[in-house]
Amino acid sequence: MSSLRLRRYGDPILRRKAKWVERISSEERGLLSSMAKIMYENEGIGLAAPQIGVDKRIIIVDTGKGLLKLINPQVIEEEGEDSLSEGCLSLPEIFVPVNRAKKIRIEGLNEDKKLVKLRIEGFLARVIQHEVDHLNGVLIIDYATEKRMRRIKDNLERIANHTKMVLEIENKGR
Ligand SMILES: [Zn+2]
């Protein structure tokens, strides 16, 4: 496995559909703590495993009410709709208004392999939907209008160029 570091726009892993976790072992628990460390270091409120280069359906979220860790999360019910401007650790300095469900029902596994069923609404529901999007290769820019896309185009290109450079250096070092 290559180093666990924050992956930014332009890294192909962010566009891949992540794999379902079939076995929860010390590897997944270690990954969860690495994810938390990287999320807090970057002052994020949510992180999905592909954002640190790991192709697994694992997310963490902390909107100030404690750390929630979910393996194989699935949104099984959605209700209402709401729009809010969102940012993303993989897209620094980019903000896009995103329509999402106000209330969700979600199921997943915790690190002790127990089934977790939650009904969540408001901001936390939004952040979870954002992270689940990452597991499907979806980014906030996919919700951008043409007008918004024109405004963020240069910024996106800059991030993608930087990512390309980082990946080239990493591949040479192998
Ligand atoms: Zn994100």
Reading the block at residue 166, the tokens are: 């980082």
pLDDT digits (tens, 9 = 90+) for 103-131: 999 999 999 999 999 999 999 999 999 99
Task: Report the alpha-carbon distance of residue 150 to residue 153 in Å, rounded.
Answer: 5
CB 12, CB 60: distance < 8 Å: no
Question: For residue 14, what pLDDT band results from cuts at 50, 70 and 90?
Answer: very high
How far does residue 109's CA lie from ligand 1's centre (Å)? 21
Question: For residue 149, what pLDDT band results from cuts at 50, 70 and 90?
Answer: very high
How far does residue 23's CA lie from ligand 1's centre (Å)? 25
162 has binding-site annotation? no
Give all domains of the chain, ordered by start, each with its CATH number: 12-172 (3.90.45.10)
- Judge whether residue 12 has pLDDT over 90: yes
Question: For residue 2, what pLDDT band results from cuts at 50, 70 and 90?
Answer: low
How far does residue 14's CA lie from ligand 1's centre (Å)? 9
Q: Is 50 exposed, middle or buried (0-12, 13-18, 19+ CB in 10 A)?
A: buried
Q: Residue 131 catalytic?
A: yes
Predicted pLDDT of residue 124 = 97
Residue of 81, 111, 131, 168 with catalytic role: 131
pLDDT digits (tens, 9 = 90+) for 23-53: 999 999 999 999 999 999 999 999 999 999 9
CB 159, CB 9: distance < 8 Å: yes
